[in-house]
Each structure stands twice: as structure tokens, then as C-alpha cells.
Structure 1
Amino acid sequence: MYRRVIKPALFRLDAEDAHHLTVGALALASRVPGWPAAARRLSAPADPRLSQTLWGHPYASPVGLAAGLDKNGVAVPAFSALGFGFVEVGTVTPEPQPGNERPRLFRLPPDEALINRMGFNNEGAGALRERLAGLGQRTAPVWVNIGKNKHTEDATQDYVACVQALYEVADAFVVNVSSPNTPGLRALQAAGDLSALLRAVMSEVEAQRLRTAHRAPPVLVKLAPDLHPADFEASVGAALDAGIQGLIVSNTTLSREGLSHAHREQSGGLSGRPLTQRSTALVRDAFRLTRGRVPVVGVGGVFSAADAYAKIRAGASLVEVYSGLIYEGPGLPARIHRGLGELLSRDGLAHLSEAIGADAG
């Protein structure tokens, strides 16, 4: 039904209008008593080979929702109901901001890609805190992707402010220093700046742990796919030295190589199918550089179980989807779960953990 009816109807709308319509519908579905939990019982993987415990949290599935789809955390129960092993909300900034001017989201159907220059449009950390605090019992971990307001000069203070506001409602923090749509943000990936920023974030997490006696959520950092190999290695090293507990590889790209659609001329970050191989290669690089010391999360061009499995064998403990969900529909997580089980059986593996990094060399 999605491919034959819903997707054609949505694709006739402006991309951002379709986005708001879809998330709004999921927000309404999230409030239907009993529906999210009942739906999740059908969509979550029943295969114990796919379950893991990471950072003290159980993950029934290695497949998560990437940041950007549910910026304000309005539809977490509905996204959990689709079977995701975790849901990443945001990017959130300390203060609300409207983001860049529209149009700012573009589809490239023949390339199975999206280009966005949203600019961290969100309702602010306070609104997200209230919403997540009201969720009640969660069926999957909720990660919070944090960033800086556009006109903030001292970026560190914004990331620290997000930790202060959201510490007790986040199951993990993702430090976003790799979006191409906030001026100066990607410069924070430079090893020296990144080290200082992450140390400040980790210090605040520890301060909040002591203040609240609440278990500290892990902190991950999300890196861009456009870094020079030497800079990527330096950034990974800086993150590890700062005590970071995971890497997300990768964010959107500024490359337009191989695109055919006219929207390739639009500015912003490119996501979707064109990133599949590039992000998988970077997952492999990150796994080799970290030597498996921290989990790597692979994101970029995951449209099938084969795509997810390639990232897992390259070194990803978890994978995330965004553009794939837009093009493939809400049944994608369940299809990936079934396919991963089949691929593990094909390779004679008893558990997902045996596949992680198998192709990293």
C-alpha cells in the first residue's frame, strides 16, 4: 500500500509539507491508547540473535531511526511501534529556532536521495524535555542529538546547556558537529576543537550524574563523510581521548558525484542511496581506528537488510535509517529484521555480534 498509494500521494506534495504531514499523523497515532505497544509486538524482531546490550541498555534490534525525522520528539511511540531498536530525536538546540528559509528539503527520486538545508529548526531543549518526560515507560531507548543555535558564538556553552536540560530524559547523547547547514559547525570536527568540546560535554555529564544520581547516558559523536582521511583519523582519535563512548558514521555529504536529478544543484546535505558505499567504507575505517573499543553506528544509504548487514560486517554495532524509510516505507525495519536473520543463517552465525567487524580486516 505504501509504494502503490501512500508514497505517490506524498511525493506529489512539497517534500517538507509531506514530512510535516507524516510526522503529524504519527504524533496523533502515538496518542492512541495501547496502539504503539500492540503494534510493536508485531514489528519488533522476535529473533534473539539480533538483540544486544550496549552501554547497559538492551537493544532488541540493531536498526534505529536517525536524527532529523522527529526533531521535536513528537512521535517517539509511533516510531518505536514500527520496530526500531532505538529512536534518535533532534537535532535540538538550547533555544527554539526556525531554521533556514524554505524551500529547504528536496527529493531526488531517481537517485533515491534527499538534500536538506533545514538549519536545526526545532522547538528548543525545554520543549523536548517536557515531551520526553511525559512518555512514560519506553519500549526502545531514545537518543537525543544536540547542536548549537545558529548565532551562538561559544558553541561549547550550547552543547553543555543541552546536556543540563535533557540529562534525565536522554538514553544517549549524540554530539552533532557535522551538519553542513549551520555556519561554522563542521569546523568543530578539527581535532583540537573537537577534543575541547567533547571534554566539556563529558565533564557536564559527570557533574549531572553526581547531582542527580541518575545513570549517565553514553555520549556519541557524529562525524561527516567529507573529512580528509588524515582529519577523520585525527577526529576519531580526539573523540577517543576525550572519553567518548561511541561514533556515528556518517552525516550527510556535500558531494554531488553521480547524481542525475535536477535538484543536485541545491545546496545542503545529501543523504540516501549515494552514501551507501561511502558510509560503509567509513564505518570500516572507524572500526579499524577504534579497534572495537567503542561501538560504531553506521548510517547512510540503508535501504535493505543487505545494506545494514554490510555496515555491520564493516564494524557497525548498530545502524540507522532515514532516507530509506522515506523511499521504502514504514515496513522497512521489519523487512531488515527478517533479512538480517536470513543473512546470519546463510553465514552460519549464531549471533549478530559474530558479524560485527567481520569484513574490517
Structure 2
Amino acid sequence: MPHTAMARPRLESALAAWSGSDAGRVAVAETVVALAAAGRRIAAVVRRGAIEGGLAAVTRASSTGDDQKALDVAANDLLLEALVTAPVAAFCSEEMDAAVPMKPGAPLVVAVDPLDGSSNIDTNVSVGTIFSVLPAIAEGDAFQQPGNRQLAAGYLLYGPQCALVLTVGDGTDVYTLDPDTDVFVLTARRVRVPEKTAEFAVNASNYRHWDPAFRAYIDECLAGSAGPRGRDFNMRWIASMVAEAHRILTRGGIYLYPGDARRGYETGRLRLIYEANPIGMLIEQAGGGCTTGKERMLDVAPTGLHQRVPLVFGSAQEVAHFERVQSEPAAHKSPLFGNRGLLRA
């Protein structure tokens, strides 16, 4: 078969064309290239799987209460190493208690989730790296800026193909790692999330912990064509947010991870700065929506490095409908299923 990848724009050349001679853009481009280089190395480790040995082994519990696995730590170290030569003033990560100063006076800061979906490491399910690039600011904590200040955001998905999904504020593009050349090449330009969907992703085992308004939305979906939506929905759950996001970018859908009544989950489980905000920027740049259920995600003012938030993102019309259901008092009554609730006997 003819090799066509070389005819596609490489990540570096696409970023160079975008940045031109603008110093601010050049800094962003250099930082994204460094993150991509780390992603290539992480992808190689993931591909080796069990050959590498003990990647899913828990090394310790992090300060944020999550189990820290060997591959989490390895991915974090590779990212930090790759960014040493980038124009980055500070680095923060889910795997680190506090931000790390890097290059004094550099124009950018970078926040990452080094390995999203790490519960799937030993099951050969897609995992990924999420990143957010923000401007370094002279006063205050540069990481505690709302997501609408992001200069770039993206994720690397380590699956059957290694993909880099990126926005620099000019649409959302997909680059795929060519295994023959070890180069990221452009494979989808300015992808768009379909506005409508009949597919949702949620961990339904937590139904009993959700508040009535959230249950009301899920009840509508599960009622299918016999319910108020008048059509059937399919439910998905991978437990890897980057994999869920990639599916939604490809064919639409809605992803939901609310706060709930469990201890430690009251304000959601996912992190605002290095999970929700970069995914929110990617989805919005692709024409989708991202919300806490009460407000646009990218407008939330961070109050802490590891702040948790409820997260809902996906097809614009479905996200808007979800927000309407949350704001309607009548929805809390769950009239379709009375007091019994959908998943109770």
C-alpha cells in the first residue's frame, strides 16, 4: 500500500504556520511540541504493557486522595523532563502536591493530568494525557485563572492509534502518531461535535447517590421512545475521560460526572484546572458545550490547584437540554417513575 502520511502536515509545521513570527504564539507552539514529544515516549511505554512490568501497581496515595500508580508517576516524570527546555515558568500536575517552578520569566504555565483513566492500565483500555497551557501572570497564582484564559489545550490518547487532539483557539484538530515515522500528522482539521445525539456516558452504578434533578435527566434518557424525549438512547461508560471525549468528538454524545452524596464527591470528582478546563476548551472549539450543570465550565474561577467540579460536556443541544432539566423544579419530582426511582425494585 502507498504510504500517504508524509503528504499530511506534521504537527511542527502546522504549528509553525499558525505561530509565524508572533512571540506569544511561538512560545505556545514550542510548548505543545514538547508535550507531544513526551506523549510519544509515554505511548511507547503504554504499548509495552505487561512487558514493562507493574505499570498498574499502586505506589502510594496522592495528597488528593487517589491511588498513584507506577505509570502515573512515569508519565508525570516524562512530561516534566520534556518541558525543561520549553518556555514554561511553572508546572502543575495531578500527581504533585504543589506547582513546580521551572524557567523564571517564561511566558507560560502548564497544568497536566499525566495519565487519565489509570484504573484501566492493566485492562488494555485507552488511557491518555490531558494538558492546559495558560499565560504566566505577574501577580497571583497563574494556575488559578478561569479556563477562558487558556492559550492551548489538548489530550494525547493512547489507544489503537496514538492521537493528539489540540486546540490553540482556532478550532479543534486531530493529529495521529505515524508508527512508521514516529511523527504526529494532521488527520482531522476543525472537527465538529454533532449538535444532536442519542448517546450518553455516565456511571449508572452511582444512581442512588445522585440528586433528584440529575436523576430526572437520566430517567428521561433511559425511558427512551416511551418517555418525554420520544427517542431511544444508548449508554456508554469507559471510565477513561479522554476515551469518552474522543468518541464524542467523533460521533457526538454527552458525558456526565456530577457531584453526588458520597463522601469526597460532593463537588464532583474531576479536577477543574487540568481536566475539566482543557476538555471544555476542546469541546467548545469543536462546537459543543461544557458545563458544571449551573454555569459554563470555562467561566468558573478556580480556588485551588486540585479543585474538583461536576463535569458535563458534549453535543451542544443535549448539554443545553441537560441544563434546562437541572433548572426546572418540576424535574426534581421524577414523574416518570414516581417515588420508586428508575433503578430501584
Q: Same fold (TM over 0.5)?
A: no
TM-score band by shorter chain is under 0.3
Q: Which has the larger radius of gyration?
A: 2
Name the structure with the higher helix share: 1
TM normalised by structure 1 equals 0.26
Name the structure with the higher strand share: 2
